[in-house]
Chain A
Amino acid sequence: MTHQASAADLAVADTLDCSGLLCPLPVYKTALSIAKLADGDVLRLITTDPGALKDIPAMARQRNDTLLSVEERGATQIFLIAKGATQ
């Protein structure tokens, strides 16, 4: 399935809060959450592990998912990840 990332598509299918968790838990839990989604669905991931800023983009690259956005709010990071590759 192809998926065009646009504002209209950013309805979040699920939110995962990994606040306070260290590597490898944010990546591990994200994989479990993404497994439950359909292709193109968006996961909103919240982390506080500074390593997540590198880990989550690397994870999306390795899994061939699509990192739509990264937002830093103080010590918190919020990622929007779409399952699967977008066009």
Chain B
Amino acid sequence: MTDAARTLTAVADAPAVAAAPRRKRIALVASKGTLDQAYPPLILATTAASLGWEAGIYFTFYGLDILHEERLAKLKVASLANPSGPIQLPNLLGALPGATAAATKVMRKWMRDARMPTVPEFIEMAQGLDVKLFACATTMGVMGVDTSDLIPGCEVAGAAAFLDFAATADVQLFV
């Protein structure tokens, strides 16, 4: 090991605050890009941060839409093959044009009537609490998403970087 490498190791190993107790940590994966599935990871992360925990969410595959500046506010609820969805339709009708928009509209109304924040509002709450928002680099490459398409403040990261964060997490959940 070179002297420079040794110095770097020493710096990395030095605890920032020796007496500070270790904070609990939650690591979440958000893999789905529907309106209904955007909520659970955001609710859990903002709750964890409110409890004083460190929280991070890895947005991968369709879940990356939750960090997408344009798509973030337009997430939809599936009307097809969603037997618990907000409108109860046989699959044959759920495939009709407008059915997805109708299901989405109903869920938005449910959320609004219950005074639940929108997904963009949840993202803002999460960022205010220093929740780490990891954007999956592979998804960006596969789906042609550029860093400039994403909301400010998220970190582009691969699986190794997320696992490095998740390795010391007390709770890990895949949504």
Question: Between A and B, how many residue pairs show CB distances below 8 Å?
Answer: 36
Q: Is A12 an interface residue (CB 8 A)?
A: no
Query: Contact: B47 with A27, CB < 8 Å?
Result: yes
Residue contact B43 to A31, C-beta cutoff 8 Å: no
Which A residues, 1 to 26, have Cβ-Cβ distances below 8 Å to chain B? 20-25
Q: Does B52 interact with chain A (Cβ within 8 Å)? A: yes
* A residues less than 8 Å from B24 (CB atoms): 62
B37-79, CB < 8 A from A: 43, 46-47, 49-53
Q: Is B99 an interface residue (CB 8 A)?
A: no
Contact A23/B47 with A28-B125, A62-B24, A62-B52 known, Cβ cut-off 8 Å: yes
Please measure, in the bound complex, the distance between the C-alpha atom of A2 and the C-alpha atom of B125, giving whole angstroms: 32
Interface 1/0s, chain B 112-152, versus A by CB < 8 A?
00111100000001000100000000000000000000000
Majority DSSP secondary structure for residues of A touching B:
helix
Contact bitstring B92-126, A, C-beta under 8 A = 1, else 0: 00000000000000000000001111000000010
How many chain A residues touch B (Cβ–Cβ < 8 Å)?
Answer: 14
Interface residues of B (CB under 8 A from A): 24, 43, 46-47, 49-53, 114-117, 125, 129
Q: Give 18 new A-B contacts, CB below 8 A, not counting A24-B50, A25-B116.
A: A21-B115, A24-B43, A24-B47, A25-B115, A25-B117, A27-B47, A27-B51, A28-B47, A28-B50, A28-B125, A30-B50, A31-B49, A31-B50, A31-B52, A31-B129, A62-B51, A62-B52, A64-B52
29 contacts between A and B (CB under 8 A): A20-B115, A21-B115, A22-B115, A22-B116, A23-B43, A23-B47, A24-B43, A24-B47, A24-B50, A25-B115, A25-B117, A27-B47, A27-B50, A27-B51, A28-B46, A28-B50, A28-B125, A30-B50, A31-B50, A31-B51, A31-B52, A31-B129, A59-B50, A59-B51, A62-B24, A62-B51, A62-B52, A62-B53, A63-B52
